[in-house]
Chain A
């Protein structure tokens, strides 16, 4: 696995066309990610906003569409350094790859750029390097434990 890349895959019992809409349209993005989302157009170069509200504060991240190939691929860059145009090296690249399967769609997510982005780089890299065998084993137990603590 490439250092600094997050990869995930999920099977969805829906056609690639439906899944593509859900991953790419702001009215859906705000359902699965942020509290609000906007996007001028689902087209390369289009810039959108993700908004999270926390009480009176809200946090806004812009994102820039990179690749639109319905119903196969949708990608965008986010967490770009302030005042910069999103490009390789200054942002995280999120890519959704959709592949039709017998009963629906295999949705593959990759997020890259952690290394180049350098956000709290040592900490984050350490976290991702061990993500697969570390956190996935550790977290369920921690979460289960936390649930008993909270109860």
Chain B
């Protein structure tokens, strides 16, 4: 698949990964699985969806590599794939929170300018002048 330009960060976005985590139920499932491995049955007990629906969502997560499963007895145990999750987090953070990061930068820059204007004799400088390049609204992953 050719990477689509990511409007918010100019980094490539994996559409399948996006779709997989674009669903609130699947995000809740991932949340639950972060706490520890689970089965379709155990997940359906903590989520307001049927075991069948959970199984379907799990197969979507499995397809994009966000979870892995192992057969244990009669049940399939699912656990989060940490590398793929980290990748999804990078993409999600970059796009979903891009403006949060940008606004925090704007805030820091403006406040540092304001302080410089008001306290020209005050040589103390706070973290506002630091360059937080890694937080720029750009995906470095």
Contact = CB atoms under 8 A, between A and B. Distances in A.
Given A142-B34, A143-B93, A32 B105 contact: yes
Interface in B1-53: 4-5, 7, 9-11, 13, 15, 18-19, 22-24, 27, 30-31, 34
A35 B103 CA distance: 16
Nearest to A30: B136
Nearest to A110: B99
Interface size grouping (class) on chain A: 35 or more
B85 interface: yes
Contact of A61 (B10, B11, B13): B10
A13 interface: yes
Nearest to A52: B10
Given A10-B103, A59-B5, A142-B30, A52 B138 contact: yes
A90 B110 CA distance: 31
A123 B64 CA distance: 15
B82 interface: yes
A52 B105 CA distance: 17
Interface in A75-103: 79, 92
Contacts of A104: 111, 114
Nearest to A123: B18
Interface string B114-128: 100100000000000
Interface of A: 6, 8, 10-15, 18-19, 21-23, 28, 31-35, 52, 54, 59, 61, 79, 92, 104-105, 107, 109, 111, 117, 119-120, 122-124, 126-127, 130-131, 134-135, 138-139, 141-143, 145-146, 149-150
5 contacts: A10-B106, A117-B7, A123-B19, A145-B89, A149-B82
